[in-house]
Structure 1
Amino acid sequence: MIFYSKISLILDQASLRSILSNFGTYPLERIAKSGMANITYIKTIPAVQTNDHGPIAYHDFGLIELAGYLKERYTPKQVVINQFTDVLGNTKETKKAAIKFLENLPIKSIDDCVSHPQGVSALSRKDCEDQAYVNEAVRNSIESGFPGIKIPRSWHFLTHATDQGFIVETNYDLKKLSEKIKEIYQHPLDLTSGYLLNLIHTATCDLVMSGHYAAEIATSSSLAAIMKTKMESTVRRREINHGNISLFQDHIIGNAHAIREAVNTKRINIKDALDLVESASRFKGWLNTVHPDAKIIQEYYKEATKSSWAEKLPGKSLRFAICTMAGITSEFFLPAGLGTVSGIAIGAADSFFLDKLAKGWRPSQFIENTMKPLISD
């Protein structure tokens, strides 16, 4: 939040519950009152349904809305109120805080962010018809999310469309990969074909919401790798002369501080953290007027945290993937359909993202690495 002048805080059930569990209602109340971010509640989450028919598993994309039980259905507003009372207790004060939070709170489905009649899941289905993209996205996601894990070039992860869903053809040893990740990162992860497909679906959903709000994205290394793969694949299909395209440039700030970790471990209270965000606002207008290269971002961060409690925290590197559109020719912004490659038509997902790019959206990313190897002597 320190780096952006216009912030869209997109909450779903899990993230809302996490904020309430860790910090209570204070940050939500202050953010809403100060206007430092526009809060939206997303009532749906991306999911992959897997149906086993004998030895064959069929996968399909969808959205889940958590709305109570078969005998008791909840409205989205009631789901939000239940999050407050489940976490903070079923009291009058808690219900009052929940109702106050709901005032003027936009509640959306991810499908509201895309104009396709079949919703965002149709975009993910279309993406999975591109075997080269799926294969590269899965590889990049694992290698970026878990540095030190290298996928042999002979391994493949391909999807085949059928009337019952997608079949995955792969020679990945997912069980061995899961065991290696657990050994290195002390992170119990059960890698399955459905899980990896849902990473692709989640990345598409996040890109759709980013394009809808014309915003950059705070995300994980795994999802950032898929998003970069997706956008570069989209641009290559659209751009006739694509020999030199380099859509993203990674920038590392090496002298930052572990602010998030300090807040999450209660070393720094949430009030002080939000004070820092507000105090940095005097620099944000300037940052938006310049080209965001590594030196400028680093100088901005230095000034924004100067003489603050943040300077006393342990060091940390921050990583940004800045969308530069480098190598894009003038033909890129011709009307859709004129810049096809070898007769390949622009698909629905590509059309959505290309339209947003033409209108100035840049899917740059702030990448938060949550998986770090366990280092021992």
Structure 2
Amino acid sequence: MFEAITYRNAIGPGPLIDIGALAEGLIFYGRVVIAANSATIEELLTRIPPFILLSLLRDGRLEIHYMEDHTGVSSDTLSNGRSVHGLIRFSSPAHIIEKVGPQKFRAAAGNTSQAKIGASQFTRLLNPLSHSGFDQESLLQTFSEGDTIQDAVKALIREVAPTFESPNDFRFKVERERNGQFSVDTNIDFSSLNKIYHRVVPPEHSTITEAYILALVQGAYLASFLAASLNTEIAVHPIEKAVQASAIDSVVRKYTQSQLQIERFADLTLSGGHAIREAVNSGAVPFASVVKLLDSADKFRHWLHQQPADANLVRAYYQETIKDSWIAKLPGKSMRWGIFTGIGLGIDALGAGGLGTATGVAVSAIDSFLADKLVGGWKPHQFVERDLKTLFNPVEKVGSGKG
């Protein structure tokens, strides 16, 4: 508990660093870190006497990690009036440690020989930190996932303008363009939103736009990156906290949904919802055998990736298996489901009530050649029935014992 914490620039108007929070951190935490840029350095040296700040660094009570580069959102307006954006990293030769350290320290401490020595020591104690490990391409992919970004933006708006009424069909979708750029499709009334926002935050500080929202969301994800890079907790602004909670909830919800889909699918096609996991964990199926299975799983995996995020995997599997076959042309849904149970699927799991209980037949009872003729071409069931089930749910041979 209270091992380490990182502070960084605040989002709203006012001081960049909460000096009171920093003091509290120095009391309670074993390790206190500041992720800083040139403005942060200037703020610290203005709020804390330079030589006291230097002594904190020299005694190891405080660490300052200086950002060698920065992240942001670039925006351009096309000839048709549409705005396109990009996630960027940028740096300036005027803001490197070797220049900023001495300049800011001497500006605060004075132009004395003691200040010159202190400036040199102060600069040596600044630790360089870059965003080279911050994967903006993956973040852009996250932005492109509708629910994730929309939930984050909703949370952000609730925090900065609590009385703003979002439309019932709230929309904030990021659409990929060429050259790594993207556009935003939204129905946010920015004029009304900023009227509320500017009651608290002056227009001179910021105005909410598509780009500003994206920058704030990127900043919330960046907080997690810094916490991991510096191996600390991180002090976050309420705006970031709201966005992070929404983003993490979205990730967890997505993972939970995926796991539920897998469990239902495995329960349908194998002996139980955790058949794969349990077989490997128990040693019944060696991990090396799973690795050998991966090549034959490529087509199946590719098919999975093509399914919509909100698809019902079991139903999609059924529909893909009978697509373009004579089964799909049968007049009654019950008849189609009945044929399908004959190649290893239970109707109950697909939502057809109790129709499948009496008619479910293991696929091993059917000639695989016949199954292929039923559906034609490559279908996902071919991997499931031939490879997956052979490894994780082998059919026990009847009468194979000594007689």
Fold conserved between structures, TM > 0.5: yes
| 1:179-226 Cα shifts (integer Å, max 9, x gaps) | 22222x253331111111111111122211112223221111111111
* Equivalent AA in structure 2 for residue 202 of structure 1: G
Distance 1:104 1:80, change over 3 A: closer
Q: Is the 8 A contact 1:67 1:76 kept in 2?
A: no
1:334-353 → structure 2 map (5 Å cutoff): 343=304
Higher strand share: 1
TM-score of the superposed pair, with normalisation by structure 2: 0.53
The one-letter code matched in structure 1 to 2:42 is R
Offset of 1:42 from its aligned partner? Answer: 1.5
What residue is the counterpart of 2:37 in the other structure? 12
Q: 2: distance between equivalents of 1:175 and 1:81?
A: 44
1:134 aligns with 2:136: no
Asked if 1:64 is matched to 2:86, the reply is: no
Q: CA deviation at 1:53?
A: 0.9
Superposed CA deviations along residues 57-100 of structure 1, whole A, max 9, x for unmatched, are 110011222322xxxxx643213323334555555443322211
TM-score (norm: length of structure 1): 0.57
The count of aligned residue pairs is: 241
Which structure dedicates a bigger proportion of its chain to helix? 2
Look up the equivalent residue of 1:215 and give its one-letter code: T
The residue type equivalent to 1:52 in the other structure is T
Structure 1 segments unaligned to the other structure (5+ residues):
69-73, 244-330, 346-377
Instruction: Determine whether 1:106 maps to 2:94.
Output: no
Report the counterpart of residue 33 of structure 1 in structure 2: 58
Note the C-alpha offset of 1:136.
1.1
The aligned residue for residue 202 of structure 1 is 219
Distance in 2 between the 1:60 and 1:66 partners? 19
Separation of aligned partners in 2, 1:179 and 1:87: 38
* Bigger Cα displacement from structure 2, 6-15 vs 202-211: 6-15
SS of the residue 2:35 aligns to: strand
TM-fit CA distance, 1:128: 1.4
166 and 16 in structure 1: CA distance in 2 versus 1, 3 angstrom threshold? same
Q: 2:172 aligns with which of 125, 134, 157?
A: 157
Superposition deviation, residue 160 in structure 1: 0.4
Q: 1:238 to 1:186 in 2, by over 3 A?
A: closer
**Candidates 194, 216, 226, aligned match of 2:233:** 216
State the alpha-carbon separation in 1 of the partners of residues 104 and 153 from structure 2: 34
- 1:313-324 to structure 2, matched below 5 A, reads none
Higher relative CO (Cα under 8 Å, sequence separation at least 6) belongs to 1
Please, which moves more after superposition, 146-155 or 43-52?
A: 146-155
Q: Secondary structure at the match of 1:128?
A: helix
User: Share of identical aligned residues, percent?
Assistant: 19
Q: How does 1:225-244 map to 2 (within 5 A)?
A: 225-239=242-256, 240-241=258-259
Distance 1:35 1:85 in 2: 22
Counterpart-to-counterpart distance in 2, 1:242 and 1:97: 60
Q: Which residue of 2 aligns with 1:123?
A: 138
Equivalent of 2:184 in 161, 168, 172: 168
Which amino acid is the alignment partner of residue 252 of structure 2?
V
- Counterpart position of 1:319: none
Q: 1:82 aligns with which of 103, 127, 152?
A: 103
Q: Which residue of 1 aligns with 2:49?
A: 24
Which residue of 2 is the match for residue 52 of structure 1? 77
CA RMSD of the aligned region, Å? 3.1
Check the 8 A contact 1:6/1:36 in 2, yes or no: yes
CA distance in 2, matches of 1:84, 1:128: 40
Equivalent residue letter for 2:69: T
Structure number with bigger Rg:
2
**Deviation, structure 1 residue 102:** 2.1
Letter in 2 for 1:237: K
Using the alignment, how far apart are the partners of 2:99 and 2:144 within structure 1? 38
Task: Give CA deviations for 1:242-266 in whole Å, capped at 9, x if unaligned.
Answer: 79xxxxxxxxxxxxxxxxxxxxxxx
